[in-house]
Amino acid sequence: MTITSPKVTDWQGLKPPVIVTVKSLQRSIPPDRYSQVYWIKTIGPVDHVVTECHPLKSWYFAADGRLLGGVDTGTWSQIVDIALDDYVVLSLK
């Protein structure tokens, strides 16, 4: 769990990303506003800059509100379990 909201310093895209907690999504991700959800794998320990994140290929909310999703980098794939207080990066359309 990250207490301070992480930052993204090197973003490839037309619009800057939105970084929110899973809890703030209120169990829905509006598909008309966001084009991609990114799981934050690592955050720098001092400056809270996101150093590695991966797009979720598919996602759903568990009954308790956690966000579960599949990550596939081509080299490895796994299902990630993102807690309510953890942050995700949302890419704007």
Q: List pLDDT tens digits, range 14-26.
A: 788 899 999 988 7
Q: Using CA atoms, how far apart are residues 39 and 22, in angstroms rounded to an integer? A: 11
How many CB atoms sit inside 10 A of residue 2's CB?
14
Is 89 a residue whose pLDDT tops 80? yes
Is 3 a residue whose pLDDT tops 70? no
Q: Using CA atoms, how far apart are residues 9 and 31, in angstroms rounded to an integer? A: 25
Would you list the DSSP string of 60-71? Answer: EE-TTS-EEEEE
Q: What is the pLDDT of residue 4?
A: 76
Burial-class residue 83 by CB neighbours within 10 Å (0-12, 13-18, 19+).
middle
| Mean pLDDT, range 31-43, rounded to an integer | 87
Q: Using CA atoms, how far apart are residues 31 and 26, in angstroms rounded to an integer? A: 14
Q: What is the pLDDT of residue 47?
A: 85
pTM (2 d.p.)? 0.85
| Mean pLDDT, range 23-44, rounded to an integer | 85
Q: What is the pLDDT of residue 20?
A: 92
Q: List pLDDT tens digits, range 40-73.
A: 999 988 788 999 999 999 999 999 999 999 999 8
